[in-house]
């Protein structure tokens, strides 16, 4: 399927690994110019080299090194790239902690990194998109925003807020060709998730067995009964970022392996 992304410019935050990298790679494969983001230039350079070796198109790849949770870095990004056609807010953090050990700082840090960081970019780029009457903004949220894990309450709350933020911003696009949606992945393989499993289940175990154990204990309602691969999430995001998804706006679109039992 031709997603009609040739000539579109996309910014994917936190895109040198995991879901963000898979999304950036898919958008680039579909013909978009992609701005990669990571904390270091080395990671960006490595990602550009990998993409180019696989599918060419180096002229459609650039990067921005910076921690977008820092306002000064976000403002520097906006100055360097004042307009984009597609914004994929993938940057985010997560951790697990018993309820009795939670502090105000756990909530404020999670909210800032997972909600405020994306809102700064979304508000800026949304105004530019509406002025041109075309654009796509996507928040990579989580099924945890609809199914708050008891051991990840600040994370789940921040993802619920992210879903609400996307819907609220979408309300301001009525009658335009700009859309704002959120995407809800379930457990998905990545470097960060591997580290998370090591913390939760202990280091040194068989990775496949650890994933099965996590799904059985923490996400037993999963219909696929496994972790997804980032490449299984990316095509959905690429579609929603495309002109073909013009009638999908203000939605929370699920790619969580069926673990949410509600039909809506």
For 167-194, the pLDDT digits (tens) are 999 999 999 999 999 999 999 988 777 6
Closest to 29 measured CA to CA, from 232, 188, 235:
235
Element (H, E) at 205: none
Q: What is the mean pLDDT of residues 247-257?
A: 98
Q: What is the pLDDT of residue 206?
A: 74
Q: What is the pLDDT of residue 1?
A: 82
pLDDT at 201 over 70: no
Longest dimension (CA), the chain: 54
Percent of the chain with pLDDT over 70: 96
pLDDT at 162 over 70: yes
DSSP-derived letter for residue 31 is T
pLDDT tens-digit readout, 13-64: 999 999 999 999 999 999 999 999 999 999 999 999 999 999 999 999 999 9
Active site residues: 155
CA distance 66 to 56: 25
Q: What is the pLDDT of residue 89?
A: 98
Q: What is the pLDDT of residue 203?
A: 57
CA distance 231 to 46: 19
Q: What is the mean pLDDT of the chain?
A: 95
Complete edge-to-edge strand list for the sheet that includes strand 33-38: 61-65, 33-38, 9-12, 86-89, 135-140, 178-185, 252-255
Q: What is the mean pLDDT of residues 110-115?
A: 98
Percent of the chain with pLDDT over 90: 88
Q: What is the pLDDT of residue 198?
A: 64
pLDDT at 205 over 70: no
pLDDT band at 199 (very low <50, low <70, confident <90, very high): low
* Paired tokens of 94: 């997560």
When mean pLDDT is compared across 122-131, 210-219, 241-250, the lowest value belongs to 210-219
pLDDT tens-digit readout, 86-95: 999 999 999 8
CA distance 128 to 116: 19
114-119 own/partner pairs: CB under 8 Å, 24+ apart: 114/155, 114/158, 114/159, 114/161, 114/162, 115/158, 115/161, 115/162, 115/165, 117/68, 117/69, 117/74, 117/89, 117/91, 118/13, 118/89, 118/91, 118/92, 118/162, 118/165, 119/165
């Amino acid at each position: 399927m031709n997603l009609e992304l040739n000539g579109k410019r996309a910014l994917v935050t936190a895109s040198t690994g995991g879901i963000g990298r898979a999304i950036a790679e898919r958008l680039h494969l579909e013909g978009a110019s992609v701005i990669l983001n990571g904390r270091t230039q080395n990671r960006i350079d490595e990602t550009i080299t990998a993409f180019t070796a696989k599918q060419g198109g180096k002229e459609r790849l650039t990067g921005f090194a910076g921690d977008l949770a820092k306002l000064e870095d976000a403002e520097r990004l906006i100055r360097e790239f004042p307009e984009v056609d597609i914004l994929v807010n993938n940057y985010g953090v997560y951790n697990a902690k018993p309820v009795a050990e939670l502090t105000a700082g756990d909530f404020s840090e999670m909210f800032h990194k997972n909600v405020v960081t994306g809102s700064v970019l979304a508000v800026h780029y949304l105004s530019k998109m509406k002025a041109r009457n075309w654009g796509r903004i996507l928040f990579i949220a989580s099924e945890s925003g609809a199914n708050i894990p008891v051991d990840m309450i600040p994370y789940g709350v921040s993802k619920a807020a992210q879903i609400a933020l996307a819907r609220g911003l979408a309300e301001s696009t009525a009658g335009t060709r700009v859309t704002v949606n959120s995407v809800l992945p379930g457990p998905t393989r990545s470097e960060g998730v591997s580290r998370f499993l090591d913390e939760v289940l202990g280091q040194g175990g068989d990775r496949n067995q650890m994933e099965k154990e996590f799904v059985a204990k923490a996400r037993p309602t999963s219909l696929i009964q496994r972790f997804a691969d980032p490449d299984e999430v990316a095509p959905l995001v690429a579609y929603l970022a495309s002109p073909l998804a013009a009638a999908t706006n203000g939605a929370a679109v699920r790619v969580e392996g069926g673990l949410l039992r509600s039909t809506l």
